[in-house]
A and B are shown apart, each in its own frame.
Chain A
Amino acid sequence: MEKSSDIELRLLIEAIYLKYSYDFRDYSGASVKRRVAHALRQFNCATISALQERVLHDPAAFMQLLQFLTIPVSEMFRDPSHFLAIRQEVVPLLKTYPSIKIWIAGCSTGEEVYSMAILLREEGLLERTIIYATDINPASLDKAKQGIFSLENVRAYTANYQQAGGQRSFADYYTAAYDYAIFDKTLRENVTFADHSLATDSVFSETQLISCRNVLIYFNKKLQDRAFGLFHESLCHRGFLVLGSKETLDFSAYSKQFEPLVKQERIYRKS
């Protein structure tokens, strides 16, 4: 017999989908369950049913809940060796294209976007690149557009940047103001930030490189395969797909459609 709380959780996720078109139905269950439990405490709701009633009748409450359901954990040049591998193994091939389109799927608050933009600028590619940075959370996208990060975090990012093969002083890319680092706005001149869901939306452009890091771990296999399908459709012949350090195509229906370029760093190429 299914537990009442599991039934309530399914109903909440279904209600969110029907009312707001945000589709968490194929997210990994354990993590969603914990995040809803956390939201219950923040909303002071005794049951998931009570939370459901609130979000169904109050769109503002839903937007609040969305902040708990999405996980904005990110950093710049996260996994420096990954960015070093992009610089060394992918950039020389990207340079052969007259113009480049890059899709950063699940860009959250923008750390990956600015990291990629800095790398491309140093490699002389940023001016001929368009970056599509997409996420389902409008609050995260707003933050990404601002490019303002806490100075305390930026100190850790500086070490990452250097280990990732950074060629300048990281401070060249931002202005410090009080406890914040405001990133150079020319880095995002060619960035289009957009609301896009890997669960419900379709492909919007042909791309040469797609970066989707630490997003797919929150999806079940079925939804992962949907995302891989979108990436496969969007990527040009021999395009690049880069994933998070614990994400793999190995268990996917698309494992044969891509080949590893730098397996250790989760850099794949469309076969």
Chain B
Amino acid sequence: MNDAAANPIRGIEAIVVGASAGGVEALLNIFGELPDTFGLPIIAVLHLPDERRSQLAQVFARRLRVPVREAQDKEVIQAGTVYFAGPGYHLSVEHDRSLSLSQEDRVHHSRPAIDYLFASAADTYGQGLLAILLTGANQDGARGLAHVKQSGGTTVVQDPKEARIAVMPLAAMAVCAPDHILPLSRIASLLASLESSPC
């Protein structure tokens, strides 16, 4: 377990985050310290019940200092913005650094799937990607995180001892050795430290 917060990771161009059960609280925690000058895009999948319209982006927008939006199809990814996947559609990153939506089958009963976001972002950003997998009660995200690692990206999982539900971090640790296993407070300071590192 490296002391990531003390040694800021360099060359990060984008961040992807996945969470399921217990995820709202965990995400508020890790995004809470982001300064309004934060310069990287963050794209998040949080599993939610299949409602047609999600309030997630609004809820986070009220509490964060950075702009928060629900991801739109074909939207060009903007630095310093937090994007949430809406309900009912998978969210992917395209090679031209735009977002796309799709309705393929569910993955581990989930659409949006963390695996799809992570793998497509890894294909686009390679070693410039930081992927963070948090609390959750299923195995979505494990394969995606392994793909990020294979593509040279940096992988972080929430310390399963601390996670509300440890299934998701443990599943990831079973298929790849994440670069960092950290409690939420350390993930938060790691994220906040990224803004000062030159690309």
Q: Which residues of A contact B (CB under 8 A)?
A: 28-31, 33-35, 71, 73, 79, 81, 214, 216-218, 220-221, 224, 245-248, 250-251
Contacts and interface: CB of A to CB of B under 8 A. Distances in A.
B4 interface: no
B102 A218 contact: yes
Interface of B: 52, 72-75, 86, 89-90, 92-95, 98, 100-105, 116, 119-120, 123
Given A30-B93, A34-B104, A246 B72 contact: yes
Contacts of B74: 220-221, 224, 251
B72 A73 contact: no
Contacts of B103: 71, 73, 214, 217
Contacts of B95: 29
A217 B123 contact: no
5 contacts: A34-B116, A71-B103, A73-B103, A218-B102, A245-B52
Contact of B75 (A216, A224, A247, A251): A251
B104 A217 contact: no
A30 B120 CA distance: 6
Contacts of A34: 104, 116, 119
Contacts of A218: 102
A31 B75 contact: no
Contacts of A247: 73
B28 to A, nearest CB: 25
B89 A31 contact: no
Contacts of B101: 217, 246
Given A28-B92, A31-B102, A221-B98, 4 more contacts: A30-B100, A71-B104, A248-B72, A251-B75
A33 B100 CA distance: 13
Given A30-B100, A218-B102, A246 B89 contact: yes
A218 B86 CA distance: 16
Contacts of A245: 52
B92 A30 contact: yes
A71 B123 contact: no
Contacts of B89: 217, 246
